[in-house]
């Protein structure tokens, strides 16, 4: 019999709030975090908007020495992880360190540190580089910092599957628990990509919104006038445990991870398969692995990035999987509020699913003003809605046809 995997702690650093409670409150109140980019000069860039994390104080989570040695993507991950551990009540001094591991998802890692270093060399001609440069930019070092901080010696992996990285981090962590490789896993997703190079690159790929005059309305998933994603940043973390381990230590279970699927499309480096076949298979496999049918799902947190093609294909895929019932299921994209958190999105959005289950409230898709005839589902426009949510699905679909789907449910002790 497959080992049951449960969630016992959650943490979030997002453009709409630091901490799960603040993040969730902003979502259900319909508050957005998109504005003018302040992190670097944007003159000459076609896109000058983004969803930056605000009010984050790294000294609340890291030593002064460690702050100097880490890129923001790692700082966000450490902060979210600390919040999740605190909620879980875990005491690592009482755990076997070889039975506790970390899986972290990030699409790029410390690219801001890379571009800053190169810019300094170009401007000054000096090749003097910080001895911490390599460890700031390496994607796996966020997981390493978490492991060092708590002396964790179990499985340690970093997953990079573009926008699906966070979802895949949770899925890989759950598989390690099911295989008996660990009793507890920290799963985190994190990203901080704000630099000229990334914004220019996303624009060259025709992926980002250029609604610079009204940034607060720029990210508008499934709306007829959507014109591209809005880059965000942040981190999410969850503590996963085998149910047996959680029961043994008397932990409070927040939700149960019921299913996970990953699949590639083998089609294109940026565009999804036009028939939605990869996304369809991913959702179907997640349902099969969870032992569920389409009738069991009460809420879908869509990938919903606000791109003209992506939102249309995801709508098509949901209708193919759920049939006539697709139009009865609340489907919302919280990216309208947070922007696209890239590697962090899969976990922050999973957290939104857990909160929806706990509170029986579905977060809205904000900035939804004009329906698109090709996107014709119930996107919970602009206002949160009370609804009975027992089981929720979270979709993460990334560049390269990287598809991840997570299913989480209300914990039933006697199931």
pLDDT in tens, 57-83: 999 999 999 999 999 999 999 999 999
Torsion, Cα 318 321 323 325, to 10 degrees, reads -70
User: Per the structure block, which two tokens stand in for 333?
Assistant: 């994209």
pTM over 0.85: yes
* pLDDT of the residue at 1: 59
- Which CATH number does 260-409 carry? 3.40.47.10
The per-residue pLDDT for range 361-405, each reduced to its tens digit, is 999 999 999 999 999 999 999 999 999 999 999 999 999 999 999
User: Residue 101: CB partners within 8 Å, gap ≥ 6?
Assistant: 152, 154, 155, 156, 157, 173, 176, 181, 182, 184, 185, 186
Mean per-residue pLDDT over the chain, rounded: 96
Q: Which DSSP symbol is given to 25? A: H
Q: Is the Cα dihedral 102, 107, 112, 118 positive or negative? A: positive
What is the CATH architecture of 5-248?
A: 3-Layer(aba) Sandwich (3.40)
Does pLDDT of 202 surpass 90? yes
Q: Reduced to 3 states, what is the DSSP secondary structure of residue 404?
A: strand
Q: Label residue 414 by pLDDT band (50, 70, 90).
A: confident
pLDDT higher than threshold 90 for residue 210: yes
pLDDT at position 273 over 90: yes
Provide the pLDDT confidence category of residue 238 given band limits of 50, 70 and 90. Answer: very high
Q: Is the dihedral of CA 204, 166, 178, 288 positive or negative?
A: negative
Which pLDDT value is given to residue 413? 82
Reported as half-sphere exposure (CB side, CA atoms, 13 A), residue 276 has a value of 16
Max Cα separation, the chain? Answer: 66
Q: Which residues are catalytic?
A: 163, 303, 340
Average pLDDT of 327-341? 98
Tell me the Cα Rg of the chain.
20
Token code pair at residue 212: 């610079």
- Please, where in the chain does CATH 3.40.47.10 lie? 5-248, 260-409
pLDDT tens-digit series, residues 181-199 = 999 999 999 999 999 999 9
The predicted-structure confidence for 309-325, as pLDDT tens digits, reads as follows 999 999 999 999 999 99
Quote helix, strand, coil % in the chain, to nearest 5: 40, 20, 40
The answer to whether 30 touches 364, Cβ cutoff 8 Å, is yes
287 Cβ contact partners less than 8 Å away, ≥ 6 residues apart: 259, 293, 294, 296, 297, 321, 407
Choose among 385, 380, 397: nearest CA to 336. Answer: 380
């Amino acid at each position: 019999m497959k080992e049951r995997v449960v969630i016992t702690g959650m943490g979030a650093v997002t453009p709409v709030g630091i901490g799960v409670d603040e993040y969730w409150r902003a979502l259900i109140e319909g508050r957005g975090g998109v504005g003018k980019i302040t992190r670097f000069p944007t003159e000459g860039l076609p896109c000058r908007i983004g969803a930056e994390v605000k009010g984050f104080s790294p000294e609340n989570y890291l030593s002064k020495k460690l702050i100097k040695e880490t890129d923001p993507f790692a700082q966000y991950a450490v902060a979210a992880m600390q919040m999740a551990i605190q909620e879980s009540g875990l005491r690592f001094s009482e755990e076997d360190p070889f039975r506790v591991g970390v899986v972290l998802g990030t699409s790029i890692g410390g690219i801001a540190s890379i571009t800053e270093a190169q810019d300094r060399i170009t401007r000054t001609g000096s090749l003097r580089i910080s001895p911490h440069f390599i460890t700031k930019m390496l994607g796996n070092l966020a997981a390493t910092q978490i492991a060092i901080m708590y002396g964790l010696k179990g499985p340690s992996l970093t997953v990079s599957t573009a926008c699906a990285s966070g979802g895949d981090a949770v899925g890989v962590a759950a598989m390690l628990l099911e295989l008996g490789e660990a009793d507890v896993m920290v799963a985190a997703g994190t990203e901080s990509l704000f630099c000229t190079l990334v914004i220019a690159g996303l624009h060259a790929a025709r992926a980002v919104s250029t609604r610079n005059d009204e940034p607060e309305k720029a990210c508008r998933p499934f709306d007829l006038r959507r014109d591209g994603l809005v880059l965000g940043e942040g981190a999410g973390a969850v503590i996963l445990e085998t149910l047996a381990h959680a029961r043994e230590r008397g932990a409070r279970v927040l939700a149960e991870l019921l299913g996970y699927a990953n699949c590639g499309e083998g089609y294109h480096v940026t565009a999804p398969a036009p028939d939605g076949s990869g996304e369809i298979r991913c959702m179907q496999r997640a349902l099969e692995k969870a032992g569920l049918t389409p009738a069991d799902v009460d809420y879908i947190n869509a990938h919903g990035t606000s791109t003209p093609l992506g939102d249309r294909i995801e709508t098509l895929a949901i209708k193919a999987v759920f049939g006539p019932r697709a139009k009865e299921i609340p489907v919302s994209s919280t990216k309208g509020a947070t922007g696209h958190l890239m590697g962090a999105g899969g976990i922050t959005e999973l957290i939104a699913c857990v909160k929806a289950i706990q509170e029986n409230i579905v977060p809205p898709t904000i900035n939804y003003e004009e329906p698109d005839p090709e996107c014709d589902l119930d996107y919970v426009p602009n206002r949160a809605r009370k609804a009975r949510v027992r089981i929720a699905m979270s979709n993460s679909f990334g560049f390269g046809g990287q598809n991840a789907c997570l299913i989480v449910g209300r914990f039933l002790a006697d199931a």
